[in-house]
Structure 1
């Protein structure tokens, strides 16, 4: 029966146009390639190349078999890549969970780099509220978490501060606050604020509560949708609203009491005393630079 090396000779000869070029690519003498393909033809009882011309050309039968040979070689290469990954002790799966407020371009770029460096390690990505992130890691349902900092979790998991997530106070461009400049706390009081309510807990640890009338939503994407509908104003992660601000759909509020951009701290979360494999370790170190 034909072997993988003969199939490789077959495909390389097709791609390079000659037995000699195929031999050079594979590090063999030309006679070895010629004989290997001849043996393959004998095994298959099919003529793959027409040798009556100066350069070998595929026969119709060779054309028909070419995609199947390519598929076999692709599977062989994938198999070898997984073997190499196992020998390097790379994990089969890495699980990461984070607040959806943190689904930033910088994060997706890191995940793309992870794919390039560890093509044989699967990645499971989940978004949940920050209050749930630490629990998922502690219970072993996630390997790495990213969350808005919460000091109450510091004894349950290992925390690593990685930076601050900037928030903008925004409203719809036609909302009454949009036409005001130098807005103070008193100006906000009569206007509805839409704030984050996580896990049925009416506390907002990421942004201040400043209005007398507050509506609640369970994640920032829901809050953004409500603000775009003109239902009120809110603090939202800057990266979620920058395009809408540039397009004139949303207005960034000029708050006199925010001397600097509101930026709550962000923690990287891992299980205590948990050893990390190469893929987890790379991802952990890369995520440290998420806000660089």
Structure 2
């Protein structure tokens, strides 16, 4: 029956336009190519090339076999590369969760380079609130997380500080706080605040807040992502601390206005941690990814 060498001869002869060109590409004599294709035709009981012209051309049956042969050769190449990746101990799948506010353009550049370096390792990317990432990692639903640091240090994960992101207190330009100056924490009490809170938690069935995001208002709405908070603020429903990665355009376009709070003498910024399974034995793909992500906010 046909073999891979014969299928390669068929594909190259069809694509290069002659048996002689195929022979040169494969480093063989032309008679070996002619014999190999003749044996393939005999095995398949059909004529693959019309040899009545100066250059052999595929018959109608040959066109169909050529497409199948090309697919088989591509699958064979993929099989060999996958086997090489397995021998190199490259992971089959890496599950990542990243807070939406930390998904800066450079993050996707890292993933693009990863795809080139490790084409046979799959990525499962989740967008989760920072408050939920540690729980999912401890439950072994994730391999890696990038999140705003939790002040309550968790000893069940390995963490690495990788930088920080700036936050602004913002509201809509028509919201009452926009016209006030030197706003104190007591001034904020009557105004609705949007606060980040995770979906999963242990307190009365509600998710948890990070210590950084505790409410300053007596009227609070919670969201599990910053984009929802941004939309609510733009709808004049309250105010919030939001990351500069999400507010820059809105501030420029006057869809948002920074609030003049008296207790923020400098731009408020939050530390960002990269967390992984404690004691996990990482393969080359995971080691490459963690190394690159450590420079994400540099």
Q: TM-score range by the shorter chain?
A: 0.7 to 0.9
Is the CA contact 1:195–1:216 (under 8 Å) kept in the aligned structure 2? yes
Match status 1:39 vs 2:39:
yes
Relative distance call for 1:185 and 1:14 in structure 2 (3 A) is farther
User: Cα deviations across residues 21-66 of structure 1 (Å, max 9, x unaligned)?
Assistant: 2223333333322222222112112222222222222212222222
- The structural deviation recorded for 1:219 is 2.3
Give SS of 1:152's match.
Answer: coil
Is the CA contact 1:90–1:279 (under 8 Å) kept in the aligned structure 2? yes
- The structural deviation recorded for 1:211 is 4.0
Match status 1:61 vs 2:57:
no
Counterpart mapping for 1:202-281 below 5 A: 203-207=209-213, 209-253=215-259, 255=261, 257-281=263-287
Give SS of 2:54's match.
Answer: coil
Structure 1's consecutive aligned runs of 4 or more residues displaced over 6 angstroms after TM superposition are: none
Residue aligning to 2:148: 148
* Partner Cα separation in structure 2 for residue 222 and residue 126 of structure 1: 17
Counterpart mapping for 1:1-292 below 5 A: 1-178=1-178, 180=179, 183-185=182-184, 188-198=188-198, 199=201, 200=206, 203-207=209-213, 209-253=215-259, 255=261, 257-292=263-298
Relative distance call for 1:14 and 1:130 in structure 2 (3 A) is same
**TM, length-normalised to structure 1:** 0.88
Is the CA contact 1:207–1:264 (under 8 Å) kept in the aligned structure 2? no
Q: Which runs of 5+ in 2 are unaligned?
A: none
Is the CA contact 1:163–1:291 (under 8 Å) kept in the aligned structure 2? yes
User: Cα deviations across residues 212-233 of structure 1 (Å, max 9, x unaligned)?
Assistant: 5332223222212211222111
- The structural deviation recorded for 1:12 is 1.6
* Partner Cα separation in structure 2 for residue 182 and residue 34 of structure 1: 87
Is the CA contact 2:131–2:209 (under 8 Å) kept in the aligned structure 1? no
Q: Which runs of 5+ in 1 are unaligned?
A: none
Please provide the CA RMSD for this pair. Answer: 2.4
- The structural deviation recorded for 1:269 is 0.8
* Partner Cα separation in structure 2 for residue 223 and residue 276 of structure 1: 36
**TM, length-normalised to structure 2:** 0.86
Is the CA contact 1:185–1:210 (under 8 Å) kept in the aligned structure 2? no
Is the CA contact 1:134–1:153 (under 8 Å) kept in the aligned structure 2? no
- The structural deviation recorded for 1:15 is 1.9
User: Cα deviations across residues 147-172 of structure 1 (Å, max 9, x unaligned)?
Assistant: 21124234222110001022232223
